[in-house]
Amino acid sequence: MNKSKKIKNINWFFDNSYSKLPNIFKEHIKPTPVHNPELVIFNEELATDLNLDFSNVNTMNLAKLFSGNLLPEGSNTIAQAYAGHQFGHFTMLGDGRAVLLGEHLDNNSNRFDIQFKGSGRTSFSRSGDGRAVLGPMLREYVISEAIHALNIPTTRSLAVVKTGEKVVRDNLLEGAILTRVASSHLRVGTFQYITAKQNIENLNTLVDYTVERHYPQIKSSKTKALDLLNLVMENQCQLVINWMRVGFIHGVMNTDNMAISGETIDYGPCAFMDQYDPKTVFSSIDKFGRYAYSNQPPITKWNLARFAECLIPLIDKNEDASIKIVTDLIDNFQNIYEEKWLNMMRDKLGLFGEDKEDKKLINDLFNWMEKNKVDYTNTFCHLMEIKIDDKDYKDKNFIEWLNRWKKRSKLNSPSKEKQIKLMKKTNPIVIPRNHKVEEALKEANKGNLEKMNKLNAILKNPYKNQNEIEEYQVPAPISGEKYQTFCGT
């Protein structure tokens, strides 16, 4: 493997702070070179946002760069250690198939982790092969970029390459590497890993590092650990509100998949809900619905409690006092969530001000949607007077509800335009419908990216009423077969 001295002018600006942390935090390891890398998709817009310029790099060298075969100068590859509660069970984990290339600073000194996913075995691989498959990596690309366009904090996708090597799963599949961009890869599980190692100095180091990187406003606070907990709670609460808003189901909210920054991370079996059902689960391994749509808020709270446990030794010298403080704080999650949720729903319905009947009005709509198996996204489109198939909305119970909504809408007498404007900021017109994602992936797997490029282009403007997108607005035809997703392997 050689460093890319020959490829100049990309403007990489690496400043690798994580690799300077004590060795317990990571393993220094290079990506395993791949046989025959081939560029599949490259996110030029994101590259520009990062102030990177690949215009002088030919396709072959792009493939070498985004496979890790050619490492840029200034990079310092590591695999990060972390732990996690996976479906409730604690395990020591780590990047088993990913390496951090380094941290790139853009022109405004914003710091971004650049990570390869699928880059070969590390000491955290356990029995895994360290590799990833083309379909799931492209799926992460599509969904993460869609989530970004929906104005929801998320990791981003810069490129996907095929490795030219087959990967053994149920059958032989095309190997691939995703280049992921994140504000960091600090997870709840990172704290759990360091806590499990029982070294208070390292725990302090991790808190200081996290604060410096994500929450510098509390740098000189006397109650830093507690403030950190509060801020992470705020961000993760806001994140799950956003997921609920657009009908996104993450699918595997293990503590190792919850970012301290509040970004959506680790796109595996995630998917968007079509018809409204709070119990919706897509993941084939989520047998008991732990990560079902309506369970996402309580699971966020559960994960935050695991984070809080890690911080207990740093909050008060007296352990009991510390436990009391964090317990009270975590117990308040429900109140914070409900208030935020109610306001988010008022926005979705274009309701200004507050009325004591709001919660009932909102819940009655949800009950109606659930009972009548009506599409979540399109119901709000219908209220915004966006043209969609309106056969579901001729139901007399819905019309009754509509009259209540119209009456409530007059409170504080906003104009219809003002109401619609508010709703248009909050309600996507187009989401990555499962059948459209599958259709695009199927073609891409055969080497034809036309459908995927079109899908990506439409998903870039989810709040805009674009022309000729009807086929992207209709839910999947009811086939009797439930849509299932699999962990991104």
Binding site for Mg ion (CB under 5 A): 257, 266
Distance of CA 195 to the CA centre of its chain: 25
With beta carbons less than 8 A apart as the criterion, state whether 249 and 292 touch.
Answer: yes
Specify the residue, 259 or 374, whose C-beta has the smaller distance to ligand AMP. Answer: 259
Q: How many residues bind ligand AMP (CB under 6 A)?
A: 17
Q: Report the site for ligand AMP in 208-267 (rule: CB under 6 A).
A: 257, 266
How many of the other CB atoms lie within 10 Å of CB of 216? 9
Q: Is 344 helix (H, G, I), strand (E, B) or coil?
A: helix
Residue 447 interacts, among ligand AMP, Mg ion, none and using kind-specific CB cut-offs from 5 to 8 Å, with: none
- Cα(482)–Cα(488) distance, integer angstroms: 19
Judged by CB under 6 A, does residue 128 bind ligand AMP? yes
- CB of residue 90 to ligand AMP, shortest distance in Å: 13
- CB of residue 257 to ligand AMP, shortest distance in Å: 5
106 is catalytic: no
Specify the residue, 98 or 459, whose C-beta has the smaller distance to ligand AMP. Answer: 98
Q: Which residues pair with 102 in a beta bridge?
A: 114
Question: Could you say which of 33, 72, 74, 96 contacts ligand AMP (CB under 6 A)?
Answer: 96
- CB of residue 93 to ligand AMP, shortest distance in Å: 4
Catalytic residue among 256, 274, 286, 392: 256
Question: Could you say which of 129, 227, 277, 439 contacts ligand AMP (CB under 6 A)?
Answer: 129
Kind of pairing between the strands at 70-71 and 2-3: parallel
Q: Is 291 helix (H, G, I), strand (E, B) or coil?
A: coil
Judged by CB under 6 A, does residue 174 bind ligand AMP? no
With beta carbons less than 8 A apart as the criterion, state whether 291 and 250 touch.
Answer: yes
Judged by CB under 6 A, does residue 31 bind ligand AMP? no
- Cα(227)–Cα(426) distance, integer angstroms: 30
- CB of residue 487 to ligand AMP, shortest distance in Å: 5
**Ordered DSSP codes for 71-130:** EPTT---EEE--EEEETTEEEE---SSEEEEEEEE-TT--EEEEEEESB---TT-TTS-S
Specify the residue, 56 or 123, whose C-beta has the smaller distance to ligand AMP. Answer: 123
Ramachandran angles phi, psi of 117, nearest 5°: -115, 120
- Cα(127)–Cα(150) distance, integer angstroms: 37
- CB of residue 247 to Mg ion, shortest distance in Å: 22
Closest residue to ligand AMP, Cβ-based?
128
Which parts of this chain interact with ligand AMP (CB under 6 A)?
93-97, 124-125, 128-131, 257, 266, 268, 487-489
The catalytic site residues sit at 256
